[in-house]
Structure 1
Amino acid sequence: MTDYNELREAMVAKIAARGIDDEALLAAFRAVPREDFVPEAYRSHAYDDGPLPIGAAQTISQPYIVALMIAHAAVEPASRVLEVGAGSGYAAALLGHLAAEVVALERVAPLADQARARIAALGIGNVRVVTGDGCNGWVEGAPYDAILVAAAARSVPRALLEQLRCPGGRLVIPVERFGGAQRLVRIERRGHKDFATADLGGVRFVPLISDS
């Protein structure tokens, strides 16, 4: 029988070894069973440090990249957070252990339904999973202290920038550059039209799709 607790602890150790030292974030990774967020056929690989398919041409992201994004989003206990591209619901569940309120936005309705059920089964009550176009954000919950996007955009959606808290809101998003290479960037809102951008390195995500 697979010892998921042992595998989970090993995953956390690997994440920590790569420089993620926020104890609250590491505790969230210990608390959320990743095996519950992947299809049955892939459960034996749930704690591999890589993405896995979840259906609808979507993936559950590599654990280290999820940790990196949350760390750079600087999520705090009082934070209101928007996650775009909820997918399996795994990152939203992690965020639920770290923030005051989380809105997880997913455009594929069956994935949103599955994510909602998984999060409810774990008793995480501060995460709301909604269905909609991620490029439009979710204005009902704005402004957000942090927005995380789990799909690569060709350009940063203006709606997401506008839904950041001013000043101080943070957006972490993969952006497609010339030639198809993707870079993970952190954008901090310093004023109404003043944004500072930092490059966090190369990544590989599924594309961010808009219905408009």
Structure 2
Amino acid sequence: MNDLGAGDEGTAERQMRFLYALRSKGVTDARVLSAMERIDRGLFVRGLFAERAYEDMPLPIACGQTISQPSVVGLMTQSLNVGPRDTVLEVGTGSGYQAAILACLARRVYTVDRHRRLVREAEAVFRSLSLPNIIAQTTDGCYGLPDQAPFDRILVTAAAEDPPSPLLAQLKIGGIMIVPVGQSDAVQSLIRVTRLTTGFDYEELRPVRFVPLVEGLGQE
């Protein structure tokens, strides 16, 4: 993580606790841990909750959305198994934190959100971090980005009742999609979908809780 200010003697200790919490929750991939050490979550949390940015908990952000807890971000990223030559689609930019992590691991990241405000604010942070390999757009993520498909990896950060068929169609053969699936915000499972030449393989990873995947564009 970046230094939070000269003379802040607690920064190193806070960073150590942050990484320890990730490892204790099962985030063990060295590349993922390195990316999460590089990207300061504090840059993506504003207002009243800024002081809680380094706790392993989800936090509210603008437009009624949330920034996921770091351990879930780490586990989802680890399960996606991103390679340095991969092109990744993220559905649900939110704060931009997950896209920034992915940008440290992939060749290119396309991230989309239905809220213009979230995309605009995330782009500002991407620029401050010098992450030119992220392309952010305001669009209906339920339909992906067919003009840029197919993708090596797709990460969905909102829960759908089923893996959206337009996104499945935009996954390369051998590609992986991580998506929360469930009909309510109380009962959801994180699913890893692998596209095979003969169809799709589905693997249930863990219970999660995400905001719902909503069609259309937001008001902000």
User: How would you bin the TM-score normalised by the shorter chain?
Assistant: over 0.9
C-alpha contact 2:107 2:133 (8 A) present in aligned 1: yes
Over the aligned positions, Cα root-mean-square deviation in angstroms equals: 1.7
How far apart, in 2, do the equivalents of 1:134 and 1:178 lie?
Answer: 19
Percent sequence identity over aligned pairs: 39
Question: In the alignment, is residue 62 of structure 1 matched against residue 65 of structure 2?
Answer: no
- Residue among 195, 199, 207 paired with 2:204: 199
Look up the equivalent residue of 2:19 and give its one-letter code. V
How far apart, in 2, do the equivalents of 1:148 and 1:204 lie?
Answer: 15
Look up the equivalent residue of 2:60 and give its one-letter code. P
How far apart, in 2, do the equivalents of 1:157 and 1:184 lie?
Answer: 14
Question: In the alignment, is residue 103 of structure 1 matched against residue 105 of structure 2?
Answer: no
How far apart, in 2, do the equivalents of 1:170 and 1:69 lie?
Answer: 11
Post-superposition CA distance 1:56-104 (Å, at most 9, x none): 1100001111111111111111111011101010010011100000001
Look up the equivalent residue of 1:173 and give its one-letter code. V
How far apart, in 2, do the equivalents of 1:5 and 1:179 lie?
Answer: 35
Seen in structure 2, the aligned counterparts of structure 1 residues 36 and 196 have a Cα distance that, compared at 3 Å, is same
Seen in structure 2, the aligned counterparts of structure 1 residues 40 and 3 have a Cα distance that, compared at 3 Å, is farther
Look up the equivalent residue of 1:121 and give its one-letter code. S
Residues matched between the structures, number:
210
What is the DSSP-based 3-state SS (H/G/I as helix, E as strand, rest coil) of the residue aligned with 1:159? helix
How far apart, in 2, do the equivalents of 1:74 and 1:12 lie?
Answer: 19
2:59 is matched with which residue? 52
How far apart, in 2, do the equivalents of 1:179 and 1:19 lie?
Answer: 23
Cα offset, 1:154, TM superposition: 1.3
How far apart, in 2, do the equivalents of 1:19 and 1:154 lie?
Answer: 26
Question: In the alignment, is residue 116 of structure 1 matched against residue 100 of structure 2?
Answer: no
1:185 is matched with which residue? 191
Seen in structure 2, the aligned counterparts of structure 1 residues 169 and 62 have a Cα distance that, compared at 3 Å, is same
Cα offset, 1:32, TM superposition: 0.4
Look up the equivalent residue of 1:184 and give its one-letter code. L
2:179 is matched with which residue? 173
Seen in structure 2, the aligned counterparts of structure 1 residues 179 and 108 have a Cα distance that, compared at 3 Å, is closer
Post-superposition CA distance 1:33-57 (Å, at most 9, x none): 1000011321110011110011111
Which sections of structure 2, spanning at least 5 residues, go unmatched?
1-7
1:71 is matched with which residue? 78
Q: Which 4+ runs in 1 deviate beyond 6 A?
A: none
Look up the equivalent residue of 2:141 and give its one-letter code. G
Which sections of structure 1, spanning at least 5 residues, go unmatched?
none
Seen in structure 2, the aligned counterparts of structure 1 residues 5 and 139 have a Cα distance that, compared at 3 Å, is farther
How far apart, in 2, do the equivalents of 1:29 and 1:163 lie?
Answer: 27
Look up the equivalent residue of 1:52 and give its one-letter code. L
C-alpha contact 2:185 2:209 (8 A) present in aligned 1: no
TM-score (norm 2): 0.91
How far apart, in 2, do the equivalents of 1:44 and 1:108 lie?
Answer: 25
Cα offset, 1:8, TM superposition: 2.9
Cα offset, 1:5, TM superposition: 4.4
